[in-house]
Amino acid sequence: MHLMKMEFYPLLLLEVLMSKIDLNNISHTYNPNDPEPTYALNPFSMTWKNGKRYAILGPSGCGKTTMLNIVSGLVRPSAGSILFDDKDVTDLKTEDRNIAQVFQFPVIYNTMTVFENLAFPLLCRDFEKEKINERVNSVAETLNLQSFLKSPARKLTADQKQLISLGRGLVREDVAAVLMDEPLTVIDPDLKFRLRRKLKEINEEFKTTLVYVTHDQNEAMTFADNIIVMSDGEVVQAGTPKELFERPNTTFVGYFIGSPAMNLFETEASSNDCVKINGTLIKTNTNLSKLKNKKIKLGIRSEFINLAEDQKDNLLSVEVDKVEDLGNYKLLTAKMGELTIKSKITRETEVPSSDVKLHIPADKCCVYENEILI
């Protein structure tokens, strides 16, 4: 039905597919009857816009899967509400929400063929036979599964099975979002790369909202428009990869995102905008007037630290510890007293073997008090 419309009224179709997901003050605990319940997910609010790619990034056990299960309805949140297109679906059952979810390990229906597996979500929703054939064939083509359509699903390899799981998620055109819980864990690296690109293409072509849970920051950075970083049941920061990279909200994000992790120095504010690192004044763009004599941390990405050329200010005199050639860049590890500073420099840069001066750009400095960005 939707496809017929698409031929004549492409814009109308987009409107039909539009689906915005709002999470309002959602929180969840698995032991609600305890006098002091422990929260798997602390209260947070968020809006997922239609057609975007989101990545939920965080270490194992930080509440990522709980968040997905709340959206798909497998878990009812202890508090808060979920809205699909401003319609409250908090109490709507999973089968009545229009959500697709792909789990970490392939889940296939062993007793069915690949075709039947892919057709199952449409069959459950009483689609017409022709429509089912058309959709299944189109998805099978996208995922290179055409030649297997008639074989029993259980005979396939692990990564082909995961493709089927993905395919079942993509076979419905009208899903509000496809939720993926580390879906590429079982897939080998080369195919992983191609599949991620494929998912991006699918998102761009069909404007399906994709939510991708991962603990791999590279995966998140390359895949998503928006990344939601979680730690210990808390949404620490949500933003574009660029925002997360340049202005991490907390030291955790700075540490978790980027390779190597952000350089962090414990220090004190010595004037309105300067901090002192091992006796050297470093100017920042942050107003530090209220933080005099308080313990703070200065964070800066190794990508932004360079060997000083003609700069006069914000220079640190350091001792070169080692230089590693990592193929597309060099990683310089330097010592300044007890501090270790890492800097990514181009391969062409010649590094003197002894003392060098490093330039710290003021606009790239992030200042943290109690691990939170000021």
Partner 1 sequence: MGKLYKFLKYFFITFWAVFVVAPFLWALTTSFKDFNSVNGGATYIPWVDFEPKLEGWRVLIKSPANGGVDIIEPYFNSLFVTCTASLISIVLGTLSAYALSRFTFKAGFVKNNDITFFFISQRIMPPIVLSIPFFLFLGAINLLDSLIGLIVVYIVLLMPIAVWIMVDFFNKVPREIDETALIDGCNPYQAFFKVVLPNSIPGLIVAGMFCIIFGWIDFFFAFILTFTEVQLLPVKIVALNSSITPWWSLSASALVSVAPLIIVAFIVERYLSKGNLSGAIK
To partner 1, the closest distance from the beta carbon of 172 in angstroms equals 8
Which residue number, 103 or 304, has a Cβ lying nearer to partner 1? Answer: 103
Which residue number, 31 or 340, has a Cβ lying nearer to partner 1? Answer: 31
To partner 1, the closest distance from the beta carbon of 133 in angstroms equals 18
Which residue number, 179 or 365, has a Cβ lying nearer to partner 1? Answer: 179
To partner 1, the closest distance from the beta carbon of 131 in angstroms equals 15
To partner 1, the closest distance from the beta carbon of 117 in angstroms equals 10
Which residue number, 96 or 338, has a Cβ lying nearer to partner 1? Answer: 96
Which residue number, 62 or 102, has a Cβ lying nearer to partner 1? Answer: 102
Which residue number, 93 or 347, has a Cβ lying nearer to partner 1? Answer: 93
Question: Within 13 Å, how many C-alpha atoms sit on residue 361's CB side?
Answer: 12
The contact set with partner 1 (CB under 8 A) reads 72-74, 93-95, 99-101, 103, 105-107, 109-111, 120-121, 124-125, 154, 165, 168
